[in-house]
Structure 1
Amino acid sequence: MQKTFTDQLGNEVTINYPPKRIVSIVPSQTELLFDLGLDEEVIGITKFCIHPIEKFASKTKIGGTKKLLIEKIRDLKPDLIIGNKEENTRGEIELLMQEFPVWISDIHNLEESMKTITEIGELINREPEAAYLNHLIHAGFTDLQTLAVTKNIHQSVAYLIWKDPYMFAGRNTFIDDILRKIGLQNIIEQSRYPELTLDELKTLNPQFIFLSSEPYPFKGKHIEEIQSALPNAKVRLVDGEMFSWYGSRLVKAVNYLFHLQDDLIIS
């Protein structure tokens, strides 16, 4: 049977329901599909869709999130493609829309991520599973927000996502919302992902600087470089997946962020 849905950009998407040949082009949403109980239905994923690793090995790879292998997707003949406005390239999405049903999410905060989980659950006929995931996420982040108040967490932070040039997570990003949910104050006031020099960062005087593991793979060697430029800040590596993956990874993120809150108090 056919069923019509509206994606988060307002596009009507008509699919064979429930879909049996899905291509997922965003890692966090790929993990979500598997955690909602799909397996054989997911026939194509990106090279970055590494979770769960046992699924990654067995699925056809269709390029990267911003450089898809269009011909490979055509060969798979999907009855649904699931993507995201920010993570995928507009031109490639518009091209695929001419040939296949494409459903796009648009996520800037935790509430929108939970809405996406609900809508993807409806899209693939997994509403109860999606509702249970959202129950866990809501309960976990409610606790984190309560703990932020009781533990008096309100430090200022700059969250680095890239090097050469240095780029930061600013306002109107999912990362910014997660930082605020655990009590931290993002010192970067510009929207999206601005570039700043370390001298410019120094004038903002953040108490903490987080070096994300993705998209740039910051390592321990980068701590010294940034620490020398900002000796008064506390520089630490953080798991980027826990701050930026907006699907079922949020369940695991609760425990990670709980321990991070404790580390901030000790630091």
Structure 2
Amino acid sequence: MRDQLQRTLHLKDTPKRIISLVPSQTELLCDLGLEDAIVGITKFCVHPDHLLKDIAIVGGTKQLHIERIKALRPDIILCNKEENTKEIVEACQSICEVHVSDVYTIADSLELIGQYGTIFNKADEALSLIDAIKEKQSAFEGFIQNKPVLKVVYFIWKSPWMVAANNTFINYMLQLNKYENVYSSLVRYPEIDLADEQKEIQNIGYAFLSSEPYPFKEKHKDELQAYWPDTKIVLVDGEMFSWYGTRLLKAFDYFKTLRESLQKDAF
């Protein structure tokens, strides 16, 4: 079969020993009933929360302990084009088969779930999850349909300040929520100068400070407010906007609650 980069995988049998280098994909594996087959994860694979105590940690998403991975004798390693570097994928290929995901939309996420269902002989479980996500999405689309479009900035980092722009899963999720991304004319995760942007961009309704990858807290709201005094600064759950897979089962309820809280604050 092929992965989402159209790379060919040669699998003689159902993989029994899995290493996942992507947190959201680790969560997906568990929800497919594959937790017992996972032999290695990253230090960022925090869901379910007991995994970091029970499963070997092989590094982060950008820096790995290759010898540790070899020692775990995996049958397959699961990567992502954005989360992991080309060098990591190539190093893992010298050990075993590597599946690389490439997710920018919910359709991509559902395709990934289906691929995992095929690879790991969990087709029925995958179909059930896909149907559940589609149901959640449909209900949310009915909720958001008549809501106004809100202009937002989505921050993912500080020192330097960085935002999510176009060609990202986050931007796709913002659009789904009827949030107009001020930086949608840029791509990926550009750095911005707050002092310069203060002059260039006007009437930003909301600035979202994500909980990841930078762990924004209440104290950071005041720092940003000094540049944009008329903008509402909101802490948001970054996992809901950036994790695909089965996190989507929780995301749509979160989005509904977030929109309702913004609407309440507006009055």
TM-score (norm 2): 0.95
| Equivalences for residues 13-162 of structure 1 within 5 A | 13-150=9-146, 152-162=147-157
Q: Deviations over 1:29-73 (max 9, x none)?
A: 000000100122111111110110123311010000100110000
* Counterpart code for 1:112: D
Q: 3-state SS of the aligned residue for 2:10?
A: strand
Distance of 1:135 and 1:200 partners within structure 2: 46
Give how far 1:204 is off: 2.1
Which aligned segments of 4 or more residues in structure 1 are displaced greater than 3 angstroms?
none
Distance of 1:44 and 1:16 partners within structure 2: 21
Distance of 2:47 and 2:12 partners within structure 1: 26
Residue of structure 2 aligned with 1:186, choices 181, 191, 194: 181
Give how far 1:142 is off: 2.1
Q: 3-state SS of the aligned residue for 1:108?
A: coil
Distance of 1:104 and 1:245 partners within structure 2: 16
Among all aligned residue pairs of Structure 1 and Structure 2, give the percentage whose two residues are the same amino acid: 42
Residue of structure 2 aligned with 1:237, choices 235, 238, 242: 235
Partner of 2:248: 250
Give how far 1:209 is off: 0.3
Q: For structure 1, which runs of at least 5 residues remain unmatched after alignment? A: none
Give how far 1:144 is off: 2.0
State whether residues 17 and 76 of structure 2, in contact with CA within 8 Å, keep that contact through their aligned partners in structure 1: yes
Give how far 1:12 is off: 0.7
Q: Work out the number of aligned pairs and report it.
A: 262
Root-mean-square deviation (Å)? 1.2
State whether residues 141 and 181 of structure 1, in contact with CA within 8 Å, keep that contact through their aligned partners in structure 2: no
Distance of 2:137 and 2:194 partners within structure 1: 32
Distance of 1:201 and 1:147 partners within structure 2: 33
